[in-house]
Amino acid sequence: DQQVKQNSPSLSVQEGRISILNCDYTNSMFDYFLWYKKYPAEGPTFLISISSIKDKNEDGRFTVFLNKSAKHLSLHIVPSQPGDSAVYFCAARGSGTYKYIFGTGTRLKVLA
Protein backbone atom coordinates (compact mmCIF):
# COMPACT_ATOMS: atom_id res chain seq x y z
CA ASP A 1 0.00 0.00 0.00
CA GLN A 2 1.55 3.24 -1.17
CA GLN A 3 1.60 5.68 1.75
CA VAL A 4 3.01 8.54 -0.29
CA LYS A 5 1.60 9.08 -3.76
CA GLN A 6 2.58 11.28 -6.66
CA ASN A 7 -0.20 10.71 -9.13
CA SER A 8 1.29 12.65 -12.02
CA PRO A 9 4.19 10.73 -13.56
CA SER A 10 5.14 13.68 -15.75
CA LEU A 11 4.57 17.40 -16.21
CA SER A 12 5.60 19.83 -18.94
CA VAL A 13 5.75 23.58 -18.32
CA GLN A 14 6.92 26.56 -20.36
CA GLU A 15 10.00 28.40 -19.15
CA GLY A 16 9.05 31.31 -16.91
CA ARG A 17 5.71 29.82 -15.88
CA ILE A 18 4.80 28.15 -12.59
CA SER A 19 5.37 24.43 -12.04
CA ILE A 20 3.13 22.74 -9.48
CA LEU A 21 4.01 19.26 -8.32
CA ASN A 22 1.59 17.41 -6.08
CA CYS A 23 1.94 14.75 -3.43
CA ASP A 24 -0.67 12.95 -1.32
CA TYR A 25 -0.15 10.83 1.77
CA THR A 26 -2.33 8.48 3.77
CA ASN A 27 -0.67 8.30 7.18
CA SER A 28 -1.82 11.05 9.54
CA MET A 29 1.22 10.37 11.75
CA PHE A 30 3.60 11.83 9.18
CA ASP A 31 5.02 15.04 10.64
CA TYR A 32 7.87 16.10 8.38
CA PHE A 33 8.04 16.28 4.60
CA LEU A 34 10.83 16.75 2.08
CA TRP A 35 11.13 17.42 -1.63
CA TYR A 36 14.07 16.10 -3.63
CA LYS A 37 15.24 16.72 -7.17
CA LYS A 38 17.02 14.03 -9.14
CA TYR A 39 18.97 14.31 -12.37
CA PRO A 40 19.83 11.18 -14.40
CA ALA A 41 22.82 9.19 -13.09
CA GLU A 42 23.01 11.31 -9.93
CA GLY A 43 21.77 10.91 -6.39
CA PRO A 44 18.69 12.84 -5.23
CA THR A 45 19.43 16.30 -3.85
CA PHE A 46 17.44 18.03 -1.15
CA LEU A 47 15.26 20.97 -2.18
CA ILE A 48 12.99 22.06 0.62
CA SER A 49 11.25 20.75 3.70
CA ILE A 50 8.15 21.48 5.75
CA SER A 51 7.09 20.50 9.23
CA SER A 52 3.50 19.56 10.01
CA ILE A 53 3.23 22.58 12.31
CA LYS A 54 3.50 24.86 9.28
CA ASP A 55 1.42 25.21 6.14
CA LYS A 56 4.00 26.94 3.95
CA ASN A 57 7.75 27.14 3.56
CA GLU A 58 9.57 29.22 0.98
CA ASP A 59 13.13 29.15 -0.33
CA GLY A 60 13.86 31.33 -3.31
CA ARG A 61 11.90 30.07 -6.32
CA PHE A 62 10.64 27.04 -4.39
CA THR A 63 7.60 27.03 -2.09
CA VAL A 64 6.05 24.03 -0.42
CA PHE A 65 2.45 24.08 0.80
CA LEU A 66 1.00 21.59 3.26
CA ASN A 67 -2.71 20.91 3.72
CA LYS A 68 -2.89 18.52 6.66
CA SER A 69 -6.65 18.05 6.58
CA ALA A 70 -6.42 16.92 2.95
CA LYS A 71 -3.13 15.06 3.53
CA HIS A 72 -1.73 16.90 0.54
CA LEU A 73 1.41 18.85 -0.19
CA SER A 74 2.56 20.66 -3.26
CA LEU A 75 5.78 22.15 -4.55
CA HIS A 76 5.60 25.39 -6.52
CA ILE A 77 8.50 26.50 -8.69
CA VAL A 78 8.30 30.09 -9.91
CA PRO A 79 9.60 30.96 -12.42
CA SER A 80 10.44 27.60 -13.93
CA GLN A 81 13.79 27.28 -15.68
CA PRO A 82 15.11 24.64 -18.11
CA GLY A 83 17.62 23.55 -15.45
CA ASP A 84 14.66 22.54 -13.27
CA SER A 85 13.95 19.65 -15.64
CA ALA A 86 14.40 16.58 -13.43
CA VAL A 87 12.46 13.99 -11.48
CA TYR A 88 10.99 15.32 -8.24
CA PHE A 89 10.27 13.11 -5.24
CA CYS A 90 8.29 13.95 -2.15
CA ALA A 91 9.05 12.09 1.07
CA ALA A 92 7.36 11.82 4.45
CA ARG A 93 8.59 10.89 7.91
CA GLY A 94 6.57 9.55 10.80
CA SER A 95 6.67 11.13 14.23
CA GLY A 96 9.51 9.71 16.33
CA THR A 97 11.34 8.08 13.42
CA TYR A 98 14.09 9.18 11.07
CA LYS A 99 13.15 7.01 8.10
CA TYR A 100 11.44 8.52 5.07
CA ILE A 101 8.87 7.02 2.74
CA PHE A 102 9.15 8.33 -0.80
CA GLY A 103 6.62 8.84 -3.54
CA THR A 104 7.03 7.45 -7.04
CA GLY A 105 8.27 10.73 -8.49
CA THR A 106 7.14 13.25 -11.10
CA ARG A 107 9.27 13.99 -14.15
CA LEU A 108 9.23 17.74 -14.82
CA LYS A 109 10.19 19.07 -18.22
CA VAL A 110 10.61 22.81 -18.57
CA LEU A 111 10.40 23.86 -22.19
CA ALA A 112 12.56 26.75 -23.39
Partner 1 sequence: DAEITQSPRHKITETGRQVTLACHQTWNHNNMFWYRQDLGHGLRLIHYSYGVQDTNKGEVSDGYSVSRSNTEDLPLTLESAASSQTSVYFCASSESYAGELFFGEGSRLTVL
CA 89 to chain centre: 5
CB of 43 to partner 1, least distance (A): 4
Per CB under 8 A, which region of 36-44, 53-61, 65-73, 77-85 contacts partner 1? 36-44
| Nearest CA-CA partner of 76 in 38, 46, 47 | 47
Nearest partner of 6 among 80, 95, 109, 88, judged by Cα? 88
45 binds partner 1 (CB under 8 A): yes
Contact residues: partner 1, CB under 8 A: 6, 32, 34, 36, 41-46, 49, 89, 91, 93, 98-105
